[in-house]
Chains A and B, each alone.
Chain A
């Protein structure tokens, strides 16, 4: 295949994924602010939302505080880095509630995705407040992918660069070298990232509250309702303890499994 075609094709899975799942939500968020591609109204350009944002005192104060938080935190991660490298980190600085609204705008019936698919005669299934919580899963994954990428990427980057080369000179293909040498050495990072994300997801509130099914509700929402609506603090404590115990059990099971996997990958008995 010609080189000028090979390079874009090789980049497509990575770049395409970034553009669709990270670039598109960003675009929708920006466009929505100007009244375009909104879920609950006709798509029509307006500066009204920004007018409210800048003229209402409460909004203005919130905006300044939000800008302070956003700029300070993003400066630490973006300064000196290429824009492309920064794109995948966007979900890290997007609050869960905003991520939930993005998915809602994109995937709810009548949302941007269903409108676009409708143009070609395809009807999307219910993805928001659906029994399988697909929308919730997408939003949680979107939020956590960069977090996992950073930890696992760092873990892979810390591996001595000569190791895969050594494996290659000993007869391993690039895939075998990755599987037998790099993955086992990155397992501590993979374990840590997985556990941190799992425990965070166990207690996720904003995203399942907005996008999850009406029934059953996740424990985190029950905890909120019992605490602030029913004043049942004992029940809340029980639920919290249960979440903690389950997280602990999963952690133990995960370590047992990864230890076994690591032994198998290392070729130990």
Chain B
């Protein structure tokens, strides 16, 4: 098992900065997710850790050993690619055995370790099949088994579930987390899917425009985001520009809410759709514009004066119709500390 430390990793392509100085620590056995939109630098960062993409500057330390100058084959890092990158001309057995053969493991041990790895991913009967004879989900599990069979110090996963349908993705997400916890392997996972990041991770590093914008546990980032980007990228939210009045908050439509802070001035407040409740009221100040039933919950797009708001209620509750007048209550909220380019830890300090 291993710890990972990144110090000021930077990458530019021509004059475009793909990754600004990234500094990050990953604990032994931790599952950390790099979350961000396409082109934010998360895959570049992952590939720099693997040694596939050359860094411009910065250091990579794995378990106290500096590895940034080592070639990929000398880093002892397992990687699962978005395309799975299974060798199409090799059977499942030979795909898994490849890394062990490169390490000079004996035939007897290769057989045993490959079978154990296939057992871990429930593919014991598929050893003699070729990748083309497997479904997408099975290929993904082979790719995972191939990466862990070499017993790497660190496991890197580059959007491994993105090519699967939603139901299979949910199942494999669960399997992946279970496997990672069983093996206790330090893992870095790249995704643009916020629900994947929240479900899988011990911590999430939110990335945007080549920077780690914020770092924290899924709960911290979802419930107490520091930046507008994090608040908006992780799930849906209503961002309101409010006035802080030392102990109170004045909402844009004039309502006053109690607030524990002493600050004064203008700030942004994040209110999640589930933190708003609406009750039908003929004298209510808001109007329902659209209603979207989504099974377990219902989304209401409402308008309160000049302010559009998204409200979520449990799917079992009585559905209100479009055009209904409603009274709005804010049950919880979070005032953003708009700081970008600095990690949550740094902000806290």
Contacts and interface: CB of A to CB of B under 8 A. Distances in A.
Given A166-B79, A266-B94, A268-B91, A171 B99 contact: yes
B94 A267 contact: yes
Nearest to A185: B89
A180 B72 CA distance: 17
A128 to B, nearest CB: 44
Interface stretch (A80-88, A102-110, A157-165): A157-165
Contacts of B103: 171
Nearest to B50: A169
Contacts of A160: 83, 85
Interface in B51-72: 51-52, 71-72
B89 A169 contact: no
A162 B85 contact: yes
A145 interface: no
Nearest to B78: A169
Contacts of A172: 73, 98, 102
A268 B72 CA distance: 26
Given A169-B77, A170-B102, A163 B87 contact: yes
Nearest to B98: A170
B235 interface: no
A60 interface: no
Interface string B214-228: 000000000000000
A169 B88 contact: no
Contacts of A209: none
Q: How large is the interface on B (under 10, 10 to 19, 20 to 34, 35 or more residues)?
A: 20 to 34
Nearest to A166: B85
Contacts of B83: 160, 162
Contacts, number: 71
Interface of B: 50-52, 71-73, 75, 77-79, 81-83, 85-91, 94, 97-99, 101-103, 146-147, 150
Contacts of B99: 170-171
A267 B79 contact: no
A229 B81 CA distance: 66
Nearest to A159: B88
A169 B52 CA distance: 8
Contacts of A262: 89
Contact of B72 (A163, A168, A185, A267): A168
Among A162, A172, A184, A262, max chain B CB count under 10 A is at A162
A267 B101 contact: yes
Interface string A167-183: 11111110010001100
A181 B150 CA distance: 18
B11 to A, nearest CB: 16
A243 B79 CA distance: 52
Contact of A268 (B73, B94, B147): B94
A168 B91 CA distance: 19
Nearest to B99: A170
B88 A185 contact: yes
Contacts of B94: 266-268
B102 A266 contact: no
A147 B82 CA distance: 34
A170 B146 contact: yes
Contact of B71 (A168, A181, A185, A268): A168
A163 B77 CA distance: 16
Contacts of B50: 165, 169
Nearest to A262: B89
Contact of A170 (B52, B88, B89, B150): B150
Contact of B81 (A162, A173, A181, A266): A162
20 contacts: A160-B85, A163-B85, A165-B50, A165-B52, A165-B72, A165-B81, A166-B85, A169-B51, A169-B73, A169-B75, A169-B78, A169-B79, A170-B73, A170-B146, A171-B73, A176-B102, A185-B89, A267-B101, A268-B91, A268-B94
